[in-house]
Structure 1
Amino acid sequence: MNAIQWPESYLPGYTDNFVSNEVIVKGLTSRDIWPFLNEPHRWPEYYTNAADIRFYDDKGPQLEKGVRFFFTTFGFPVDAEVVEYIPPAAGQPARVAWHGWSGEGESRLDVHHAWLIEDLAGGRVRILTQESQRGKPAQTLAQAHPDPMINGHQDWLKGLVAAARKARG
């Protein structure tokens, strides 16, 4: 299976916090999943931890490399820029990743949030999302129990799958 491609400064194990969530389900494809991730205005329909989504510079409603957007998640107002963008195609996984940031100084949080969606044998699809974080808020999140990032991202995956299943009928 494929892996997330990390910028050196966000390599897991060297940051203040890292989370990884994954599901493998049958009966869906990467093309079924992609629109629900690629169009951020759809996120609040199936994931209650995403709100206030808007794009900058008259871009949107879909993500693309270099696009900047804003959303609120985990109580943080996040500005983000898409740094990796590969839609689903035969023989290669779909990928999207953004650098997100919130706050300034001691309250600054910087993240690299990446997604990988790949079709597997037997009519299955794998959805992997990982996030690597830097900053004092990341240190605090890393100590929280239960882990809000792990639980929140798992909810995102479950909602994403449910939305794709519903759309597929």
Structure 2
Amino acid sequence: MTTQNAINWPEKYLPGTGDNFVSNEVIVKGVTAARVWPFLTDTATWESYYDNVADISFPGGGGPALHDGADFSFGTFGFPPLDAHVVEFQEPADGVPGRLSWTARQDGTPAERLDVLHAWLVEDLPGGRVRILTQETQLGEPAAALAEERPNPMLNGHQAWLDGLIRAARR
């Protein structure tokens, strides 16, 4: 039996304790974690395969590649650019899953304030398969409003990101 890895969650963002949580996963054959990883961590590629992201910048310099401790900003889901900070970064290796997570925030009034943790896990599975899991916990009134929308824009948006990521890795 193969055990699949899980996201590492800081207590503040533990799934089911915030205002919105989504989980999306794909398992596909013919692609490796090493092939997927550059498309996930190089923000210069994001807009080529995912249309729900814009205005990516690195206000303190650096980029476009993410790394542990990187600060960047990006717009998504109609929000103005969110201030993001990479809190976990582990490249995939033999028997070790790739892990990437960032916090993203929007300040303002309570009706505008948003605080999220978006996490990714990319791992090779037996039989030439790769598993990509992305999960996000959101805190704040905008998150609670998103959670009530049907169809769920976060669930659908993250699935589009996964699907685009796989297409880009297969090119």
Aligned residue in 1 for 2:17:
14
Aligned length: 166
Distance 2:141 2:60 in 1: 30
Equivalent in 140, 147, 157 of residue 152 of structure 2 = 147
Structure 1: unaligned runs, 5 residues or longer: none
List per-residue Cα deviations over 1:135-163 (Å, max 9, x = no partner).
Answer: 00010011000000000000000000000
Alignment partners' CA distance in 1, 2:152 and 2:67: 30
TM-score normalised per structure 2: 0.95
Give the equivalent residue in structure 1 for 2:27: 24
Alpha-carbon distance in structure 1 between the residues aligned to 2:95 and 2:31: 16
Which of residues 116, 128, 132 is equivalent to 1:127? 132
**Structure-to-structure mapping, 1:93-104, within 5 angstroms:** 93-104=97-108
User: Deviating runs (4+, > 4 A) in structure 1?
Assistant: none
Cα distance in 1 for partners of 2:24, 2:67 equals 23
User: Where does the alignment leave 5 or more consecutive residues of structure 2 unmatched?
Assistant: none
List aligned pairs for 1:58-137, cutoff 5 A. Answer: 58-76=61-79, 77-106=81-110, 107-137=112-142
Identical-residue share of aligned pairs (%): 59
1:43 aligns with 2:80: no
Deviation at 1:79, TM superposition (A): 1.0
In structure 2, distance between residues paired with 1:80 and 1:135: 16
Contact 1:99 1:113 in 2 (8 A): yes
User: Residue type of the partner of 1:10?
Assistant: Y
RMSD of aligned C-alpha atoms?
Answer: 0.7
Residue 156 in structure 1 maps to residue 156 in structure 2: no
TM-score, scaled to structure 1: 0.96
